[in-house]
Amino acid sequence: MSAPTQPSARTGGRLPPVEPPTDAPADAPRRRTHETGFGEARPHWLAYLLLGVGLIVVTSPFIWMALSSLKSEGEIRRVPPTWIPEAPTLDNFRELFERLDFPQFFTNSAVVATAVTIGNVIFCSMLGYVLAKSDFAGKKLLFRLVLGTLMIPGMVTLVPLFVLVANMGLVNTYFGLILPFLAAPFGVFLMRQFFLGIPDELIDAARVDGAGEARIFIQVVMPLAKPAIATLAILTFLGSWNNFLWPLVVATTEDKYTLPVALALYSTGQNQTDYGLLLAGAVVVVVPVLVVFLILQRHFVQGVAMTGIK
């Protein structure tokens, strides 16, 4: 107790004689903002109430999905609908796993998402690094070319890309699912933004010590970029995991379906009314992602904020 109070007492004793007028006003507003934000006590509980209602509205589809996947088909169809399952059962999941090869879909999603993530981390970091930290001929052109495509709708490239992949003989292969997403402009933008904040002196110092460009990148720059890499990896993995249209077009047989494709194809047509099975399928698709998100949510939030601030 005495240790923390001592320094403050010491500074307190030193400061007031120098600038006595600034001390009091600097202290007062700090206390006010800390306690009540806008300076009024009233909106406090109101804020909690509004946000709480909003939170319930936003998350209720998830809660309802999870609860209903444990209900029997009869209970799901009951009017009025129930919240808590009367007789919780895992029958929906059991039947779903019997009918569909979910481990295979899961593997496919994981393989594709992992490969796309690794590719983006490597390639986007490399380009982002030189765009941020090097001065070379053609830099502006590269930057404009890559960022210019951020605004181009996916529909523009869909068919030419499919024709291209088909001509390469990659339809219904992992390569066909992975290659078009290995190098995404968004990653370049994100990594460049981060590398801009690394001091030049650090890189110059390594250069002066005789390190080659490749070595500087691998041993100096990349270790510093861990937070940005984590963000890029998570966002890319998630984007790939949830990607729907391209796998739907390219994966033509069941052994190459990703989870969303499998669920989408199962949920249309004759199975449209197997409510229990569909909800169980939705749970299987959503829950792994939600778990990962809850564990890594700090990185998500940092990353999204990072793209927005600068």
Residues 125-184 that bind other proteins (CB under 8 A): 126-127, 129-131, 134-139, 142, 145-146, 149, 151-161, 163-164, 179-180, 182-183
Distance CA 232, CA 226 (A): 10
97, 106, 175, 300: residue in contact with other proteins (rule CB under 8 A): 300
290 is a contact residue toward other proteins (CB under 8 A): yes
Q: Which of 113, 229, 250, 285 binds other proteins (CB under 8 A)?
A: 285
- From the list 12-20, 98-106, 222-230, 300-308, the region that binds other proteins by CB under 8 A is 300-308
Write the burial class of residue 33 (CB in 10 Å: 0-12 exposed, 13-18 middle, 19+ buried).
Answer: exposed
Residue 17 CB, nearest approach to other proteins (Å): 25
Q: Does 84 bind other proteins (CB under 8 A)?
A: no
Interface with other proteins, residue 17, by CB under 8 A: no
**Buried-state track 72-94, b at ≥16 Cβ within 10 A, e below 16:** beebbeeeeeeeebeeeeeebbe
138 — alpha (psi -120 to 50), left (phi > 0) or beta?
left
Residues between 61 and 80 that touch other proteins (CB under 8 A): 61-62, 64-65, 68, 76-80
Considering only residues 188 to 207 of the shown chain, the ones binding other proteins according to CB under 8 A are 188, 207
Q: 33 or 252: whose CB is closer to other proteins?
A: 33
Residue 22 found at the interface with other proteins (CB under 8 A): no
Question: Is 16 a residue that touches other proteins (CB under 8 A)?
Answer: no
Is 241 a binding residue for other proteins by CB under 8 A? The answer is yes
228 lies in the site for other proteins, by CB under 8 A: no
Q: How far is the CB of 90 from other proteins (least distance, A)?
A: 18
Minimum CB separation of residue 198 from other proteins in Å reads 15
Query: Of 44, 99, 144, 215, which one interacts with other proteins (CB under 8 A)?
Result: 44
Could you say which of 111, 118, 122, 224 contacts other proteins (CB under 8 A)?
A: 122
Which C-beta is closer to other proteins: that of 111 or that of 147? Answer: 147
When the beta carbons of 138 and 223 are compared against other proteins, the nearer one is 138
